[in-house]
Structures are given as C-alpha cells and as structure tokens.
Amino acid sequence: MSRHFPAILFLLPLFAAISMPVVCLRHRHWSRPISLAVLSSMVVLSILNLNSIITHGEVRYAFSGWSAPLGIEWVADGLASMILVTLSFLGLLALVFAGPTSPKDLGGRIVHYYTLILLLISALTGIVFAGDLFNLFVFLEVAAIASYALIGVAGGRALFAAFRYLVLGTLGASLYLLGVSYFYAASGTLNMADMAEKLPHLLNSKAVVGGLLFMFIGLGIKMALVPFHAWLPDAYTYAPESISPILASLVTKVALVGWVRIIFWVLGAKVIVNDIPVLLLVGILGTLAAVIGAVLALNQRDIKAMFAYGGISHIGIILIGVSQGNQTGFVGGVFYLLNDAVMQAALFFLAGMAICQYGARTVEDVGRIGKQAPWFTGVLIIVAMGMIGLPPTGGFFGKWYIILGALEANNYIAVAAVLLSTLLTLAYFVRLFEAIFRQTPLPSDRLPSDIPFAYKLSLGATSAAVIMLGVFSDPIVQLLLNHALPPGL
C-alpha cells in the first residue's frame, strides 16, 4: 500500500476536482466540505508517505506498468515527501481560511471556485513528484492556468493582474519547454534519472547549455526571481483574499523545488559545482533578489504588496542557500523554504483578515486597528520574528544554516546579502509596528465584535508552526541531511 501513496496523493485531489461539478450540480454547498475532506486526507496520507520514505527509502512509481524511461515515473524521495507535507498542510489551512473570506458574489460559480483550488493542489503535487521534464512542464501549466482563473475571480484590477501573469507565465512555460526540447535532442530521453546518466558526457553540447539557459529563465519567471518578478506583486495584491495565501506560500516555492530538482538531480551536484557555473549564476541572482525584494517591500503602503515583495526577497535567500555547493547551505535553503512557505501563508492570512474583518489595507489602516485586534497583532509579532530571523522561530535557524554554508564556501558576499536583507525586513516590520503603537486606535464600537473561528484556526496553526519549526529544527535538519540531499553533494 505504501508504494502507492505518491499516486494516491496526486489522484485524490485530481479526481475530486474532476467529479465535483457533477457531484455538486444540485448541491453547491457540498463543494466546501468535499474539498476540506480531500485536503484533510492528503495531510494524513502525506505524513504516512513521509514516514514510509524514512523507513523504507525512496519510491519510484511507474504508472500503468510502463517502467522508466519509456513510462511516466513518480519519484517520492525525502525532499518531495517533506515538501508535500508542507503543501497539504498549508493547502488545508488556506481552504479553512477561505470559508468566510471567499468572494461573496460567486453565486453558482462557487463549485468552479473549489474545483480550481483542488486542481491547483493536484498540479502542485504533480510538480513535486514528477520524474521527467515534460510532465513537470504539464503540471506547471495546469497550476498556472488554475492560478490565472483564481486571481481573476475578484474582477477589476485583478483581471489585469491575472492577464499580465498569463502573458509572462506563458512566456516562461514556452522557454522552459524549449529548454526541455534541447535536452531531449541532446540526450534522447525525458526521464530525469536516465538523463542524469547521459548529461555528464554531453557538457560540451551547445544544446545542453542553451537548454539549461532557457529552462532557468522559464522557471525563474515561474518562481518570480528578480528580474523576472514583475507579475507577482499585482497578482498577489489584487487576488481574492482567500486565494493569496495559496499562491504566496505554494506556487512559487514549488516552482523553485522543480528548479532545484533539475540542477541537482538531473545535471548532478558534481557537474554544477565543478564543471558548469550554474550555482554562481543562481547565487548572484539570489543575492540581488534578497536585497532588491526587501528594498521594494520597504517602500510599500499596501500590506499585501509589502508582503508580496517580502516573498520575492525570501526566494532570493533560499537560492543563496542552495547555491553554496555544500550540504550545510543546501539544507539551510530547503529548511528555510519550508519556513518561508508557512510564514508567507501566515502573512497573507493576516492581510486577508485585516481587509475582510477590519477594512484595513494600508500600513496606516493597520496602525488604527492594531491595538484593538489582539489576534492580528499577536500573530504578526510571531511571524515578524520568523521573517526577520529571531530565535526561537524556524526562520532564525534557516538563515543560520544558510550563513554557515556561505562561510563554509568562503562566500562573504552571500553572508552580507542575507544580513542586509534581514535588516531591511526588520525595517519594514518596524514600520508596521510603529504605525500600530503611534496611530490613534479606532473606537471599539467601530470594530467587529467577533472573529470567525476559521481565522483563529488558520492564524493559530501557522503561528504555532513558525515556532515549532524552530523548536524542532535539529531533527528536521537531520532528516534533510539523511533523506533529502542530492547525490554527490
């Protein structure tokens, strides 16, 4: 049974998404309970899958009995399994949060709304498990199409943001697919494991170098890496408050995981460390993203835009970690990715709560409601500690391992970039807290008297996760060292 977990985890939300329009044809109100049940099942199955991988080792699942490289192969190793636990957990919380937050004017489209969310989760699962480059492209596009539709649901400026995301996303997908075709022309295969055996002998091929460049730019657009980030701020800012947490915490992170899978598992750690300066390029762009994203966040008044640019900065920090070419930096980058996914979800939960519950969208608005909203301010303090990198949060330990990896590689520019981005992150959170403690609070009779339980559960779970990732950082890092390292690193 355990070897079928990867297929079940992918097919469960996919089957629910396909069947929901029929099942909920007459009973639209069933769509939310069905979605919650599916995501709850995914959380349990992803934990069982991770335990199975730790106990018995990685699983290579061949669909329809066609073994690789001819057939479609799923790869469930330590990295994929840990990412999937995070994905299913945050997907469930985002769905809980979406209850009182989802657009009220959906009407009969509510079934399609939850169908798209399940389709997005299924596609992200496919990206995590995909064992060949073409299937990775397919699921990137399914996830992107679902994202475009979910962003555009809000109408108005969200439609323009979704259209810009569509244009740039399509460009990224086209470049990625062009790169895959170059790799296929050089190696004669699409399977990652099969390609990993052939590429070390093809490093002088212009097709390999060109394909790598095209795939890097394509996935750079998907993960909103500076300077390919133009689509992200407006998409996250104007998307429905119920959708922004899923996009911010999962979509860009999973695209980054796909890129890490390609450079470390397809090209191979020895090749990118010794033969092709891929990690140098990744480190430079990560450094720029970490600093530029934080500077842009500091200049925002809209809290969703501020958090969106902060997410761009933290993508850069993750890339700084994985680009150091050693185990310490790689594990620090992956551990920080897990933390950042949780923190981005929490930040956009906070933004959604501020907008829907209090009508507060700007820094000044947050200042007027902060003292009167203990749930908001308390969770904001915890998440800010994680984003800045203060103990005992997981953000501190993630940055700690990234800095240790950079010192091990004698990369002092990377150390300076992490520290500078941290100071800039501190600066924009100081702006928020200064507004809270200096602005005149709104009278209590102008504030809502009760906070929906869905908000409390989502915010409580993510803020607790920020702390628990720090408290249990040592066993998690050890788990990454034992089960998630690429071969040869």
pLDDT band at residue 107, thresholds of 50, 70 and 90? low
Residue 384 lies in a domain: yes
- Domain interval for residue 370: 277-489
Mean pLDDT of 391-419: 92
pLDDT at 444: 58
Mean pLDDT of 112-119: 89
Residue 455's Cβ-side half-sphere holds a number of Cα atoms within 13 Å equal to: 24
Report how far apart, in Å, the C-alpha atoms of 92 and of each of 14, 23, 292, 297, 387 are: 15, 21, 32, 28, 22
Which residue from 222, 219, 230 is spatially nearest to 281, judged by alpha carbons? 219
Domain count, the chain: 1
pLDDT band at residue 179, thresholds of 50, 70 and 90? very high
pLDDT at 93: 92
Q: Across-strand partners of 302?
A: 362
pLDDT at 453: 84
Residue 225 lies in a domain: no
Mean pLDDT of 97-125: 79
Residue 379 lies in a domain: yes
Residue 100 lies in a domain: no
Residue 367 lies in a domain: yes
Compare 469 and 325 and report the one with higher pLDDT: 469
Report how far apart, in Å, the C-alpha atoms of 308 and of each of 89, 297, 412, 440, 448 are: 21, 8, 27, 27, 27
Q: Which residue is associated with the tokens 């639209």?
A: 28
10-19, 312-321, 363-372: least confident range: 363-372
Residue 75: both structure tokens together: 């790869």
Compare 86 and 276 and report the one with higher pLDDT: 86
Question: 212-234 burial, b if ≥16 CB within 10 A, otherwise e?
Answer: bbbbbbbbbbbbbbbebbebbbb
Q: Do 175 and 137 meet the contact criterion of CB atoms below 8 Å apart?
A: no
- Give the chain's mean pLDDT: 87
CB neighbours of residue 346 within 10 Å: 31
φ, ψ at 474 (rounded to 5°)? -65, -50
3-7, 25-29, 85-89, 319-323: least confident range: 25-29
Is the pTM above the cut of 0.85?
A: yes
Residue 436 lies in a domain: yes
pLDDT band at residue 366, thresholds of 50, 70 and 90? confident
pLDDT band at residue 294, thresholds of 50, 70 and 90? very high
Is the pLDDT confidence value at 373 over 80? no
Residue 321 lies in a domain: yes
Residue 311 lies in a domain: yes
Question: 403-438 burial, b if ≥16 CB within 10 A, otherwise e?
Answer: bbbbeebebeebbebbeebbebbbebbebbbebbee
Which residue from 375, 370, 380, 376 is spatially nearest to 442, judged by alpha carbons? 370
Mean pLDDT of 222-248: 87
